[in-house]
Amino acid sequence: MEKSLARSLEVTIISAEDLRINHRSIKKNAFVTVQTDPNNSRSTNMDTEGASYPSWNEKLELALPSYVKHIRVDVKCKTSSGERTIGSANIPLTDFLDDYIPPNCLHFLSYRLREHDGDRNGIVNISIRLNAPDYVPRALPSLTVQAGYRNSNACGWMPSSRIQTPYNNSRGSFAIGIPVSKGYIV
């Protein structure tokens, strides 16, 4: 099972803001569908309390086929006339694969939602982490550090030794693990 999911995404749908249908704030029943390709799609539950500012905090795991360049997030709403798509965001993989911090770190991302005719709608807030045991990141366009991703686990727990970087030349530098494994613990 683990091996067949060589590359997968951990997408946490946190919340959305200012959702509207025909310029009117929605009342309830918003949910989010994420898909990496037509065969890999997951949805959250419906939010019943947040009205046009729903929150879900649901973690969805999706396979990430190698040819995929974008993932699609659709914010939808169940109304009396059926399901309607409020707005969508196309997230380029580069936003978290080529970001400043390694892809296996938790990335907090927010996107403007667009309606199918291109009109602006609300905002969706998510966090994404790549699960890829053998992921080799591109070289950092860094100042002096070449050993950038030597410890592929750097964003997980506790590299056991101190690692030198150009900006910790002497005292007070720590290489202590920061538990960034979870998004919001309240």
Interacting residues toward other proteins by CB under 8 A: 14-17, 49-51, 53-55, 57, 89-90, 92, 95, 99-102, 105-112, 114, 123, 125, 140-145, 148-149, 154-155, 158-159, 162-163, 165, 167-180, 182-186
Q: How many helices (H) and strands (E) does the chain have?
A: 1, 10
| Token representation of residue 13 | 């749908």
| Token representation of residue 179 | 């538990």
Q: Whole-number minimum distance, CB 43 to other proteins, in Å? A: 18
Residue (1 or 185) nearer to other proteins, CB: 185
Residue (63 or 131) nearer to other proteins, CB: 131
Query: Strands, E, within the chain: which ranges?
Result: 8-17, 20-21, 24-25, 30-37, 40-43, 55-63, 70-79, 82-92, 107-114, 120-131
Q: Whole-number minimum distance, CB 39 to other proteins, in Å? A: 25
Q: Whole-number minimum distance, CB 4 to other proteins, in Å? A: 29
